Amino acid sequence: MGPRPRPSPLLPLGALVLFLLAPLVLSGWIVFLLTVAWAKALAVLGVVLLLRGGLLTFGHALYYAAGAYAAGMAVKYLHVREGLALLGLALLAGVGTSALLGLLVARYRGVYFALLNLAFSMVLYGVLLKFYAITGGTDGLGLPAPPLAGLRPVAQSLRLALYDLTLVLAALLIYAAHRFSASPVGYTLRAIRDNEVRVEYMGASVWRTIYVSYVIAGGLASVAGALIGLSVGHITPDLSFWSQSGEFVFVAILGGTGSVLAPVVGSIVFEFVRNYAFELSPYTWQMTLGIVLLVIIFFLPGGLWSLSALARRLPRRGAPPPFRTSPRDGAGAAGARTADQAREPRGGR
């Protein structure tokens, strides 16, 4: 294997430190917004990983809800209180479900993959709705403020603790996803998007690559779901509804697929746009979101992340760009392709 361009860890680490220090100056609700954004970024990251393999899913909320409800059920029926244990259980549930369903869906591509995922997520939605006595139906389940690592923080520091936990966990998982992308399996996944037959001829297993990626994406979403459940304090079957999956795809396209950090950018921008759209025009916030997405697709087909490629080109021409795992795979070009693929199945043209 040839020399891989080493990503510079300084920039992401610096950003992480900035985010860790942010609560010192930001108001409580922005810290909460960031918690939600970082947590959801993990689910979006799963969508992005699959998009890199040319796989679009309209049902990723399945694992998001699986994680949240694993935590909710554990609180209600197993009387688990510890936040970290709940996260572990959620991960287990997400990985378990995706390992099981992956056996089937990893065999499909294109619109079949997208819709099969959608179908499974709506099955979970139906189950959560129908088993009213167990799941609380549309009223949902409450998740009381959890102790973390045995400590029970007071109300104000609890939000901070949850923020820090989300941040650190997300950073670790994003780094893991980055390593995965740079691993042979990660490269194979990209190759699959370009030409599946050739990958098979080269001796790599397409099915295994997609299966592993699918399970990883499911695990990421389940952790996101549990984190959301813990910080919001209440979970409803909406977590598994198709519109939630649609939101993940929306944010993935908004951020772009050029980097594992793009979902974080997309997610934070999305949460802020949504909340300010709310504040400015409570009647037409959905339209504001739609217009923002259209503008981004038209002018930044590679998502917001393609802005970073522009910025990077200015100071250091020729230097290995950070977080690009292949010199050929410029953020703009890859994102544009994936965004096109993402639009294709629902375009109906």
Bridge partners of 151? 148
Asked if residue 274 binds another protein (CB under 8 A), the reply is yes
Residue bearing tokens 């921008």:
269
# residues contacting another protein (CB under 8 A): 38
- The distance of closest approach from Cβ of residue 164 to another protein in the complex, given in angstroms and rounded to an integer, is 17
| Short-list 90, 120, 92, CA closest to 104 | 120
Question: Which residue lies nearer to another protein by CB, 118 or 145?
Answer: 145
Q: Using an 8 Å Cβ cutoff, are 102 and 211 in contact?
A: yes
Q: Using CB under 8 A, which of 92, 232, 293, 297 touches another protein? A: 232
* 3-class secondary structure, 292: helix
At its nearest, how many Å lie between another protein and the CB of residue 41?
14
Inter-CA distances, 189 with 2, 74, 113, 203, Å: 18, 35, 15, 13
The residues, ordered by sequence, that sit 6+ positions from 223 with a Cβ below 8 Å of its Cβ are 42, 67, 87, 90, 91, 94, 169, 173
What's at 76, amino acid-wise?
K
142 binding another protein? (CB under 8 A): yes
Quick one: which segment of 44-52, 91-99, 124-132, 177-185 binds another protein (CB under 8 A)? 124-132
Shortest distance, CB of residue 247 to another protein, whole angstroms?
A: 9
**Which of 21, 100, 104, 130 contacts another protein by CB under 8 A?**
130
Q: Is 271 in the site for another protein (CB under 8 A)?
A: yes
DSSP single-letter state for residue 69: H
Residue 286 burial (CB < 10 Å; 0-12/13-18/19+)? Answer: exposed
Residue closer to another protein by CB (options 32, 180) is: 32
Among 15, 103, 131, 132, binds another protein (CB under 8 A): 132
Tell me the Cα Rg of the chain: 20
Q: Give the integer Cα–Cα distance in Å for 254 and 270.
A: 8
Q: How many of the other CB atoms lie within 10 Å of CB of 29? A: 10
Name the one residue in this structure whose structure tokens are 């287990």: 92
Q: Does residue 29 belong to the site contacting another protein (CB under 8 A)? A: yes
Strands (E) in the chain, as ranges, are 141-142, 234-235
- Return the number of other C-beta atoms located less than 10 Å from residue 253's C-beta: 28
Would you count residue 236 as binding another protein (CB under 8 A)? yes
For the bound state, the minimum distance from the C-beta of residue 339 to another protein, rounded and expressed in Å, comes to 25
Residue 316: DSSP 8-state: -
Among 70, 95, 122, 145, binds another protein (CB under 8 A): 145
Please give the residues from 306 up to 345 whose contact with another protein meets the rule CB under 8 A.
none
Q: Find the shortest distance in angstroms from Cβ 279 to another protein.
A: 7
Site for another protein in 282-301 (CB under 8 A): 282-283, 285-286
Q: Which is nearer to another protein, 129 or 176 (CB)?
A: 129
Question: Where does this chain touch another protein (CB under 8 A) — which range of 21-29, 99-107, 189-197, 313-321?
Answer: 21-29
Contact footprint for another protein (CB under 8 A): 27-30, 32-33, 36, 129-130, 132, 136-140, 142, 144-145, 155, 228, 232-236, 238-239, 241, 244, 271, 274-275, 278-279, 282-283, 285-286
